[in-house]
Amino acid sequence: MKRYFTFCLIVVLSTLAARAEPDYDKARFEQIQTVINSSTNKLLGKSLDEVSDLLSLKGVPWDTGYTSYPLGEARIYHFRGFYLYLHLEILPKDVTPSKREGFSYTEPELRKNGVRWLAAFDPFVHEDGLTNRAERMTNYWVAVDAGFKKRNEEMKRFESRTNK
């Protein structure tokens, strides 16, 4: 009886351990993380085309995220069980992040014809265990909304303390 109990316990624990194993494309996650970490500046200052080649992003589905950064764009690339977050800055073709001379463009024209550069924020990969792109984006927008609500509450508390 004791052996049977021990055997059942081992089966149950190994099943639980297998379920606790994260469901994500670990090899792809590590490949992307290695490329980002091996860059001295975390790929900042590289064009989206360069980054896409380095991280093999061609054909990977992505959605637009939130940014308040002027001339910015956030992209969320979807993988099994994790996502890659890139924050981009859109500049005219003859301007680079390191050569910022004055330029004059309308935003729609710039978004259509400009070059996207990895800028302002380090790219990162985040394991979430999700395989459903729509579910990931729903969670993302719920978190963005919660962040706005929290910030508004903090601003109201600050204003109530300072406007007495």
- Report how far residue 124's alpha carbon sits from residue 158's, in angstroms, rounded to the nearest whole number: 32
pLDDT score of 164: 62
| Predicted pLDDT at 15 | 43
Rounded distance between C-alpha atoms, residue 62 and residue 52, angstroms: 12
Where do the structural domains in the chain lie, given as residue ranges?
23-132
CA-to-CA dists, residue 109 to 92, 102, 116, 117, angstroms: 9, 16, 13, 16
Task: Write out the E strands in the chain.
Answer: 62-65, 72-79, 82-91, 115-118, 124-127
SS3 assignment, position 30: helix
Residue 164 carries which side chain, given as an amino acid letter?
Answer: K
pLDDT of residue 61: 98
How far is 32 from 104, CA to CA, in rounded Å? Answer: 35
pLDDT beneath 70, residues of the chain = 1-22, 164
Compute the Cα dihedral for 134, 143, 24, 85 and give only its sign: positive
* Amino acid symbol at 141: W
Whole-model pTM: value is 0.80
Local structure of 41: helix, strand or coil: coil
In terms of C-beta density within 10 A (0-12 exposed, 13-18 middle, 19 or more buried), how is residue 55 classed? buried
SS3 151: helix
What tokens appear for 137 in the block?
Answer: 């984006």
Check residue 134 and give its pLDDT.
97
Span 93-128, pLDDT tens digits: 888 888 877 788 888 888 899 999 998 899 999 999
pLDDT at residue 86, rounded to an integer: 98
What phi and psi values does residue 41 have, to the nearest 5 degrees?
-120, 25
pLDDT of 22: 62
